């Protein structure tokens, strides 16, 4: 029955769509069009939000940028001895970059190691468990890292810093000061390193797993050991991925507030005394520590420093994303 019925049914069905399309010129009608507008609008809204972040920060930071030195040191709440905004922002940018760079230098080699461990060394079943453990590290809130860093890590690690400072004592032209409390930029950087570790690991792991199997097998067939295979096939393939992963980690470390705020004993200096307290401060921690008491122009000053942080992290992140995007286009793996 069905076989005899279907041809007459199918025929008008096959004929109708072209006719309808000719009539309206567009198959999209009714709520479908509204729905497309709604979703497209929310896409545009997202871009608007990002633009709004920049616009509002600029608008509210502008009074601080245009204020006279007298106003800044009076109502602007600048620390004594400073009479322009750059006197404040400069050392803060320096401290932020120093802390983030040190964190990155500590975290990247370890993260690459873990990523290789998961992708090429660990047994298959263990690898997913280990990946989950590393993700756990990413899920822990930064304030808990700060609490742990300030209460547990700082007293322990200060002995290590004292020892390192003792070893470095032979250096001429440079005396290494060291604090016994452990509340130094070095400790903060170690905690920051632990916090960015999961990000760098996650991205690098994905890249390493994408290495073409044929490259790996070719290397092994030529008699390479496992490490030589990784060095000749995996690492060159993953280089740009690792670089962008490190930059993403850098972006995270630059903006991290609580760990630095709770561990570091701050100062506002251009100083490389990373084992001493009262030397450097980062932008994010500075804003968080001053914001509650600030009012009037002081708020504008803080927002202007926040704008500096926003610009730095945007540049770093966009750089990282651009590398990732370019890699996607030219990669032979897909």
Partner 1 sequence: MSATTSITDDAGAVERTRALLTTADSGRRRADRAMTILIYGAFLLAVIPLVSLLWTVVVNGVERFDGDFLFTSMRGVFGGMDMGGAYHAAVGTLMITLTATVISVPIGLLVAIYLVEYGRGALARATTFFVDVMTGIPSIVAGLFAFALFTIFLGPGAKLGIIAAVALSVLMIPVVVRSCEEMLKLVPNELREASYALGVPKWLTIVRVVLRTSVAGITTGVLLSIARVIGETAPILITAGVSDSINFNVFDGRMMTLPVYIFSQYRQGPVPCREDALDCLVSINFDRAWAAALLLIIIVMLLNLIGRLVTRWFSPKLR
Does the footprint of partner 1 cover residue 204 (CB under 8 A)? Answer: no
Does the footprint of partner 1 cover residue 223 (CB under 8 A)? Answer: yes
Nearer to partner 1, 142 or 158 (CB): 142
Q: How far, in whole angstroms, is CA 229 from its chain's centroid?
A: 30
**Binding residues among 159-188 for partner 1 as defined by CB under 8 A:** none
* Cα–Cα distance for residue pair 104/107, rounded to 1 Å: 5
**Binding residues among 55-114 for partner 1 as defined by CB under 8 A:** 56-57, 59-60, 109-114
Q: For 270, list phi and psi in degrees, rounded to 5.
A: -85, 95
* Cα–Cα distance for residue pair 182/159, rounded to 1 Å: 8
Does the footprint of partner 1 cover residue 194 (CB under 8 A)? Answer: yes
- Residues 229-241 as b/e (b if ≥16 CB within 10 A, e otherwise) read bbebbbeebbebb
* Cα–Cα distance for residue pair 58/76, rounded to 1 Å: 17
CB of 169 to partner 1, least distance (A): 27
Nearer to partner 1, 273 or 280 (CB): 280
Nearer to partner 1, 175 or 225 (CB): 225
CB of 225 to partner 1, least distance (A): 4
- The single residue among 318, 326, 328, 333 that binds partner 1, judged by CB under 8 A, is 318
**Binding residues among 254-273 for partner 1 as defined by CB under 8 A:** 254-258, 261-262
Q: Which stretch binds partner 1 (CB under 8 A): 79-87, 158-166, 178-186, 305-313?
A: 305-313
Nearer to partner 1, 176 or 301 (CB): 301
- The single residue among 251, 265, 275, 277 that binds partner 1, judged by CB under 8 A, is 251
């Amino acid at each position: 029955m069905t076989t005899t019925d279907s041809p007459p049914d199918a025929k008008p069905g096959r004929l109708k769509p072209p006719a309808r399309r000719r009539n309206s010129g567009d198959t999209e009608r009714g709520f479908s069009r509204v729905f497309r507008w709604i979703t497209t609008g929310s896409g545009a809204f997202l871009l608007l939000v990002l633009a709004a972040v920049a616009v509002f920060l600029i608008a509210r930071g502008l009074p601080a940028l245009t204020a006279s030195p007298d106003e800044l040191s009076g109502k602007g709440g600048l620390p004594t001895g400073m009479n322009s905004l750059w006197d404040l922002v400069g050392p803060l940018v320096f401290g932020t970059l120093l802390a983030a760079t040190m964190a990155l230098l500590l975290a990247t080699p370890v993260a690459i190691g873990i990523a290789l461990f998961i992708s090429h060394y660990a047994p298959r079943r263990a690898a997913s468990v280990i990946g989950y453990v590393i993700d756990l590290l990413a899920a822990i809130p930064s304030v808990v890292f700060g609490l742990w860093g300030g209460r547990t890590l700082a007293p322990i690690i200060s002995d290590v810093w004292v020892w390192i400072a003792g070893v470095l004592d032979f250096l001429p032209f440079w005396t290494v000061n060291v604090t016994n409390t452990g509340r130094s930029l070095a400790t903060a950087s170690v905690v920051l390193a632990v916090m960015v570790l999961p990000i760098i690991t996650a991205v690098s792991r994905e890249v390493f797993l994408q290495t073409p199997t044929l490259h790996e097998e070719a290397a092994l067939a030529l008699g390479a050991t496992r490490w030589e295979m990784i060095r000749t096939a995996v690492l060159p393939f993953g280089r740009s991925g690792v670089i962008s992963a490190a930059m993403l980690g850098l972006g995270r470390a630059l903006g991290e507030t609580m760990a630095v705020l709770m561990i570091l004993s701050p100062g506002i200096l251009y100083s490389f005394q990373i084992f001493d307290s009262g030397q450097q401060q980062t932008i994010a921690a500075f804003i968080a520590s001053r914001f509650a008491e600030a009012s009037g122009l002081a708020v504008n000053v803080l927002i202007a420093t926040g704008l500096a942080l926003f610009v730095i992290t945007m540049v770093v992140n966009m750089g990282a994303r651009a590398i990732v995007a370019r890699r996607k286009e030219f990669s032979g793996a897909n």
